[in-house]
Structure 1
Amino acid sequence: MFSRRMVLVVAVLVLLLLNIAALTVSSSRPDSAGGAAPIALHLTAPFQKGLTATLGWIRSIWHGYFNLVSTAEENKELRREVAQLREQLNGYNELKLLNGRMRGLLSFKEAKARNMVAAMVTGKDASLWYRTLIIDKGTENGVAKGQPVVVPDGIVGQVIEASHRYAKVLLVTDRNSSVDVLVQDTRVRGVLKGGGAGECRFAYANRNDTIKPGQRIVSSGLDGVFPKGFFLGTVSEVRKGVSGIFQDVAVAPSVTFETLEEVLVIMSPEAGN
């Protein structure tokens, strides 16, 4: 019926009342050497001892409780500070990675000695029918339809739409994409078409042309869109049918489109004026 806490409080009160009563009795006869005073002292001493011990125990619990509360608050504050430090560290790591990528783009731009504009990838369309990117540079930055988009790993695609601040890029893996290309070492010419599903096909390769897996494919510069000599991918498979004048050549793109975050848009000659 009664909680442990209530029983404890009642016991403390009883001890306190008994102690007060005993002290009152003993103090009423301060000059008594015998009689009631020794008896009262004999009776009250154990109660005083128990009361003192109980009060000490209660004080220790009380102080312990406040110490626990204080420790809990300190732990909470420390966890908050640790979370903030982790967030700052993550931000520093992101900046470090971004700085490394931007330095790579700058070195590539300087090596190619071309007028290029760096842009951030802000959106991707990975539908079954189209392969496109949205970048954060538009006509106000000189970006226009038809301009090539590249990274140090190779050609990404070309701009197909441009607004004031944004542009859409058609990837070389899109089925509507085509780039005039060469096998780098043998100079065999063909057209690289998007095959969808992250691959490309080397079209119009004569079955008598020597094409082998591992050969590099580069832009020929003859389509008037993509500059000559930019890397596009590596031959991954070659199949020759029993009939037909062309061979079927699969090409693995050099660019990992899933992880693209920054690109370079090659400006038209008039855009640099």
Structure 2
Amino acid sequence: MIVGVILVIAVNIIVLSIAAKSPHRFYGLKTPALYIITPFQSMVSRIIVFMKGIWNNYFFLVSVSRENSDLSRALEKALEKNRHLAEIELSNARLRELLKLQETRDFKLLAAEVIGKGHSPWYRSIIIDKGTANGVEKGLPIIIPGGIVGQVVETTRRYSKILLITDQNSAVDAIVQRTRARGIIEGEPGGGFVFKYVLRKEDIKAGDTVVSSGMDGVYPKGLSIGWVSGVIKPISGIFQEVSVLPLVDFNTLEEVIIILNPPKREFVSRR
């Protein structure tokens, strides 16, 4: 098609050039010449208009494409800003919960950020960004507004390691909130708890809330631990088999609270 267009334009140019140089040759042939030239000129004009339209449309599409790219970048920036603001709002909400806890507890509290997590199934721990330079000491309890997290087991000037209460090496003296039945909460490999040494005669039901008793010398009294998920009373023996699920979601911990001045209390035996 392009070759045909070029040929038509070339013929038209040749005829017009000859007519311009030797007009006397076409003096008597004006009308026939017009019949010959006019269709070519008309075709060339239409082709030029057509090509001009294509050219203009091309630049229009390029302009639209560029505008779309600019709008896409602007939209992505706006979405990123919204995500950032949403993250700030969530962080502020968590900090407000920390402040509420500070108001309801007569403790000196220090907020810390979780910067690392242990991946061993046999040793559940997290790393926080506060250490001895911030007044953190080994043995201090770690909590969040939702309940107990764990205990400081190692500390450096700027960082501390926290043993989670879901670890098998962890133990918390606890009571059932409804009936005050007492026992020891220990971590299990699956991430839950076993509530040990609860006397068989005690009234415990699935759904009961378990809280710290305050008698282990580590955790203050009344901090949430979990809820009873199962109770088995063997025919023989003096203890029940009680399973407890944690109230804290240990997989989503981002900030925690260190109790810098927990009440000093020696362990009180249940016997």
Q: Distance in 1 between matches of 2:225 and 2:232?
A: 20
Indicate whether 1:92 and 2:105 are aligned.
Answer: no
Q: Distance in 1 between matches of 2:242 and 2:7?
A: 99
The residue aligned with 2:228 is: 235
Tell me: CA distance 1:33–1:160, structure 2 relative to 1, closer, same or farther (3 Å). closer
Q: CA deviation at 1:49?
A: 0.4
The residue aligned with 2:76 is: 83
Q: Alignment partner for residue 131 of structure 1, among 115, 124, 137?
A: 124
Q: Alignment partner for residue 211 of structure 1, among 186, 199, 204?
A: 204
Q: Which amino acid aligns with 1:51?
A: V
Q: Deviations over 1:106-148 (max 9, x none)?
A: 1112111210111111222243211111111111111111100
Q: Does the CA-based 8 Å contact 1:26-1:37 persist in structure 2?
A: no
Q: CA deviation at 1:269?
A: 6.4
Q: Secondary structure at the match of 1:246?
A: coil
Q: Distance in 1 between matches of 2:249 and 2:179?
A: 26
Alignment of structure 1 residues 92-241 onto 2, 5 Å: 92-241=85-234
Q: Which amino acid aligns with 1:90?
A: R
Q: Which amino acid aligns with 1:35?
A: G
Query: What is the aligned residue count?
Result: 263
Indicate whether 1:41 and 2:34 are aligned.
Answer: yes
Q: Distance in 2 between matches of 1:260 and 1:84?
A: 28
Q: CA deviation at 1:63?
A: 1.4
Alpha-carbon RMSD across the aligned residues, in angstroms, is 2.0
Q: CA deviation at 1:28?
A: 4.7
Q: Secondary structure at the match of 2:9?
A: helix
Q: Choose 111-120 or 32-41, whichever is displaced more.
A: 32-41
Q: CA deviation at 1:31?
A: 7.6
Q: Distance in 2 between matches of 1:35 and 1:69?
A: 51
Q: CA deviation at 1:149?
A: 0.5
The residue aligned with 1:64 is: 57
Q: CA deviation at 1:50?
A: 0.5
In the superposition, the TM-score normalised over structure 1's length comes to 0.90
Q: CA deviation at 1:58?
A: 1.0
Q: CA deviation at 1:30?
A: 5.5
Q: Does the CA-based 8 Å contact 1:26-1:41 persist in structure 2?
A: no
Q: CA deviation at 1:263?
A: 0.9
Q: Does the CA-based 8 Å contact 2:133-2:158 persist in structure 1?
A: yes
Q: Distance in 2 between matches of 1:69 and 1:103?
A: 51
- Could you list the structure 1 runs, at least 4 aligned residues long, displaced by more than 4 angstroms after superposition: 28-34
Q: Which amino acid aligns with 1:74?
A: E
Indicate whether 1:12 and 2:24 are aligned.
Answer: no
Tell me: CA distance 1:25–1:185, structure 2 relative to 1, closer, same or farther (3 Å). closer
The residue aligned with 2:266 is: none
Q: Distance in 1 between matches of 2:5 and 2:72?
A: 40
Q: CA deviation at 1:33?
A: 9.4
Q: Secondary structure at the match of 1:252?
A: strand
Q: Distance in 1 between matches of 2:26 and 2:197?
A: 128
In the superposition, the TM-score normalised over structure 2's length comes to 0.90
Q: Which amino acid aligns with 1:161?
A: E
